[in-house]
Amino acid sequence: MERYSLKNIKKTILEGHVRLSAHTLEKIGERGYLKRDILSCIWSAREIEQQHISGHERLKIVGYDSSDQEMVVVVARDQRQINGLCIITAFPPTDKKQKSIKKNII
């Protein structure tokens, strides 16, 4: 995958080069999400935020789950496969103030 962009992320997903981290698989069940909710969030994205945490680049995506409820998905490059993505986590938005920091509205 080249740069982080929704277009590149969607293309990578359609090509099947994406995996969910163990953390994501555990947490989506606890939070009542399904895999389709993650896809829905990415496809309906309305905000994206580039993040650099501990030297790693990530992209925070705010969109809507399959029930039209706001949701956040965080993706990063997958260290296990070239040009792959890893879904780091998925969760409901927790802080409305957080949305005003470094965001790009789509």
pLDDT band for position 106 (50/70/90)?
Answer: low
Q: Would the CA dihedral through 34, 39, 40, 41 be positive or negative?
A: positive
The encoded tokens of residue 102 equal 């470094």
pLDDT of residue 96: 55
What does the block give as tokens for 42? 């990415």
Which residue is listed with tokens 């990063």?
76
| Per-residue pLDDT tens digits for 13-67 | 999 999 999 999 999 999 999 999 999 999 999 999 988 888 888 999 999 999 9
DSSP alpha helix (H) spans, the chain: 6-14, 22-30, 35-43
Domain spans of the chain? 6-94
Q: Pick from 42, 63, 62, 60: which is nearest to 51 by CA?
A: 60
At the top level of CATH, the class of 6-94 is alpha beta
